[in-house]
A and B are shown apart, each in its own frame.
Chain A
Amino acid sequence: GESVGLHLPTLSVQEGDNSIINCAYSNSASDYFIWYKQESGKGPQFIIDIRSNMDKRQGQRVTVLLNKTVKHLSLQIAATQPGDSAVYFCAEGTGNQFYFGTGTSLTVIP
């Protein structure tokens, strides 16, 4: 499959601070991107998605930024809370294929 990778494997942030998780993708034909959160022993949970015709999309406390020029995706979490501690994956989609990056483990320090 295509290569989707994350820059930082681990990230620790203080509770209340903002978190930024980055992702690089390699398939310039990908037109749909998703961020997922996965807690230990559980399946991934959808956070937010963005199509390639957009640069930014906001959700509740989360913002996804897409830079197609450098094939880079980021997830921003505002006012990070202990419950945000998990592994975060980005995924790129082309048609009926979805491939995941390696994941970033986010730890929120109380």
Chain B
Amino acid sequence: GAVVSQHPSWVICKSGTSVKIECRSLDFQATTMFWYRQFPKQSLMLMATSNEGSKATYEQGVEKDKFLINHASLTLSTLTVTSAHPEDSSFYICSARGLTNEKLFFGSGTQLSVL
């Protein structure tokens, strides 16, 4: 199946710093990418949907200035957690979907720990 690469897999940062997470579709063009957040033993919570070349659509309650999403190409989307605080510590997961495939393919996730 299609491959989605997410990087980094784990990041530890100081409070107040910004962290960028990359999501790449390796063998297909991802017209739509999704970003999720997951807390331990809980489900995936959709944060935002991004289509290549346009602004991301954020879910209710998700601060767009806090979680900056860029989808500048058909193979790359980035999520930047700005001025991270301990409450932003979580597992962040991206998924991607191509033009001809309804299936969602997921990245391996990024564990963010803010000290």
The residues of A with any CB-CB pair to B shorter than 8 Å are 1, 32, 34, 36, 41-46, 49, 89, 91, 93, 96-103
Contact status A101-B105, CB under 8 Å: no
The residues of B with any CB-CB pair to A shorter than 8 Å are 1, 4, 6, 32, 34, 36, 41-46, 49, 51, 59, 91, 93, 95, 102-109, 111
Q: How many A-B residue pairs have CB under 8 A?
A: 55
Contact status B43-A44, CB under 8 Å: no
Contact status A46-B103, CB under 8 Å: yes
Q: Which of chain A's residues have a CB closer than 8 A to the CB of B59?
A: 1
Contact status A34-B108, CB under 8 Å: no
Contact status A89-B44, CB under 8 Å: yes
Contacts beyond the supplied A43-B106, A101-B43: 13 A-B pairs with Cβ under 8 Å: A34-B104, A41-B111, A43-B6, A43-B107, A43-B108, A44-B106, A46-B104, A49-B102, A49-B103, A89-B43, A89-B44, A96-B32, A103-B42
Interchain residue pairs with CB less than 8 A apart (24): A1-B46, A32-B102, A34-B104, A36-B106, A41-B109, A42-B108, A42-B109, A43-B4, A43-B93, A43-B106, A44-B44, A44-B95, A46-B104, A46-B106, A89-B43, A89-B44, A96-B49, A96-B51, A98-B95, A100-B36, A100-B45, A100-B46, A102-B42, A103-B43
